[in-house]
Amino acid sequence: MTLLRSLNQVLRAYGNDLPPLQAAPRHTAPLLYVAQYDESDFTFLHRLAAQYGEWFYYDGKNLHLSRPSDAARPLVSDGVRAGLQLSLTLRHGAFVVSQYNPVQHQQLRATSQEQDVSWVGQHQLASFALDKSTSVLAQPMHLPAGVPTPAQADLREVAARYKSQHATSLVSASGWGEDPAMQVGSSLAVTGEGFGTEARGEESFGNYLLTAVTHLLDSNAMYSNVFEAVPQVADYPPLGPPRQAPAGQPELAEVIEVADPQRLGRVRVRYYWPVAKPTEAETDWLRVSTPYSGDGKGQLFTPEVGSQVLVGYEQNRAEQPLVLGNLFHAQNKQSAHYTTDVNHLKGLQTAGGNKFVMSDKQGNQTILISNSNNKGTAMSISFAGDGSIHIQSAGPVTVNGSVITLGAGVPGEGQTAYTGEIIMRAKTITMAAEEEVKIESLTTTVDLKAKTGLTAEGEATMLLHTTTGALTLSGGTTVDVSGPTVKINE
């Protein structure tokens, strides 16, 4: 949306009550993001025009978004029918403008010293005031860009505009007259005799553009006016209080889109504003605050579409919003209970039902990993008071790895022997290897017992061997040794 389209959208509601509009703005490029916030329509348009260096005013007949005409009305400052007073002001003229570009991760900077304001050289007083302001007040101010500046060229344009507007505000003219045709936006060609000097010849004191006019009529029906003006050669209007952006306050919004085209984890939101069309309360892409972020690392919890968020504002500017956090509310789709009487639950749960829940019950601390849509797949890790850990799943548990090592009572420093115990118990236990299966006791015995029968079978050979002691085969009633050939004591 361009500046002119923004103007027309705001003014459309006034219909035939609107005065004729004369618009020819210099800035015709699309505006990246604009917000009218806690300000009247006129103040908003006034501020928006000033941010982009446009003249915006009402002259009593027409509404203007364009540079005033250069045609000047004569004003003879004779001290009788009209008078003029010129004032010079010293203000901070040195500044640094900066803007952070999150898409490119660039801190853009531009200084007043780098900018050239050509019109100042055409006005002796403005040139003098700007030079003195820069030399006397040399410490540079740090200013925000005020408008989105995605590239360095955009920021340089803002800095040049700031410098020009600053120079315009250094020279002001105020006076009085009797010409009722004087109106805001018109120009005066000021002449006079001996104006500020002892010379008596008529001389020109330059052309000035009217920025404010007060028309007066006294009790005797005598007309007069008082006015304020700036040098007509100025490129941009002077800065003024009505053009300062209002401070944004944190407020609620609803997430409407999360498919960030730049893949920066940004979201678009819609405020709960009473607007005619929902699109009028929608933002551009907003960054989301997170406790931890970085290149290839960080915490990724992008709010879901439909979730409620709290929006804050960078530099308190309504046109620089960002998401501060997510908020629960009564319409949560999963109908979860988020609080308990003793506040012992902490957890994470995604829209797909995946959840990680930590319970801090005294003596029975647990961690639960599961899915709300299939509770049979839960894995529970409990930490008992004696230091034991219990892992449980209602479904199959599969562990894969190139090497899997189980150790119980792992030796401490200076020790070699394991001191713990590994217990396996199930209805059926199956162990299979592609090659070898080894069972070995390093210090005592290996016991193999079965309630009914024990079978040991080798397809090629089977060896029962003792290296130093005796080998005993015994049976409760009978010991059978059979084969095609049986050799004993050979």
453's tokens: 């029968």
Last residue of a domain, one of 355, 373, 393: 393
Q: Are residues 208 and 132 in the same domain?
A: yes
Asked whether residue 462 is assigned to any structural domain, the reply reads no
Rounded-to-integer distance, Cα 370 and Cα 349, Å: 9
Please tell me the predicted confidence (pLDDT) of residue 66.
Answer: 93
Q: Is the pTM of this model over 0.75?
A: no
Count CA atoms within 13 Å of residue 475 on its CB side: 7
- What is the layout of strands, in order, in the sheet containing 141-144? 106-111, 95-101, 141-144
Q: State the chain's mean pLDDT as an integer.
A: 86
Q: Are residues 270 and 371 in the same domain?
A: no
Angle at CA of residue 446, ends 440 and 449, nearest 5°: 135
pLDDT bucket at 240, cuts 50 / 70 / 90: low
Rounded-to-integer distance, Cα 468 and Cα 385, Å: 47
- Please indicate whether residue 31 or residue 330 has the higher confidence score (pLDDT): 31
Q: Are residues 238 and 256 in the same domain?
A: no
Rounded-to-integer distance, Cα 158 and Cα 95, Å: 12
pLDDT bucket at 254, cuts 50 / 70 / 90: very high
* pLDDT tops 60 at residue 334: no
Q: Comparing C-alpha atoms, which of 168, 163, 79, 85 is closest to residue 123?
A: 168
* pLDDT tops 80 at residue 196: no
Q: Which whole number is the average pLDDT over 240-261?
A: 84
Q: Are residues 228 and 104 in the same domain?
A: yes
* pLDDT tops 60 at residue 336: no
Q: State how many domains the chain has.
A: 4
- Between 185-199, 320-334, 416-430, the lowest mean confidence (pLDDT) is in 185-199
Please tell me the predicted confidence (pLDDT) of residue 195.
Answer: 53
Asked whether residue 186 is assigned to any structural domain, the reply reads yes
Q: Are residues 231 and 188 in the same domain?
A: yes
CATH number at residue 14: 3.55.50
Q: Are residues 104 and 235 in the same domain?
A: yes
Asked whether residue 452 is assigned to any structural domain, the reply reads no
Asked whether residue 470 is assigned to any structural domain, the reply reads no
- Between 54-58, 338-342, 395-399, 447-451, the lowest mean confidence (pLDDT) is in 338-342
Rounded-to-integer distance, Cα 118 and Cα 372, Å: 68
Residues of the domain holding 383: 345-393
Q: In 145-215, which ranges are continuous DSSP H helix?
A: 152-170
- Please indicate whether residue 144 or residue 200 has the higher confidence score (pLDDT): 144
Last residue of a domain, one of 41, 67, 93: 67
Asked whether residue 472 is assigned to any structural domain, the reply reads no
Task: Name, in order, each residue with C-beta under 8 angstroms of 178's C-beta and a sequence gap of 6 or more.
Answer: 81, 82, 223, 224, 225
Q: Which helix (H) or strand (E) holds 131?
A: helix 124-136
DSSP single-letter state for residue 113: G
312's tokens: 């804050």
Rounded-to-integer distance, Cα 95 and Cα 218, Å: 46
* pLDDT tops 60 at residue 489: yes
Q: Are residues 230 and 134 in the same domain?
A: yes
Asked whether residue 405 is assigned to any structural domain, the reply reads no
Asked whether residue 427 is assigned to any structural domain, the reply reads no
Q: Convert 273-303 to b/e letters by CB count within 10 Å (16 or more is b).
A: eeeeeeeebbbebbbbeeeeeeeeeeeeebb
Q: Are residues 138 and 235 in the same domain?
A: yes
Contact 214, 197 (CB under 8 A): no
419's tokens: 């001191």
Q: Are residues 100 and 210 in the same domain?
A: yes
Please tell me the predicted confidence (pLDDT) of residue 247.
Answer: 83
- Please indicate whether residue 68 or residue 240 has the higher confidence score (pLDDT): 68
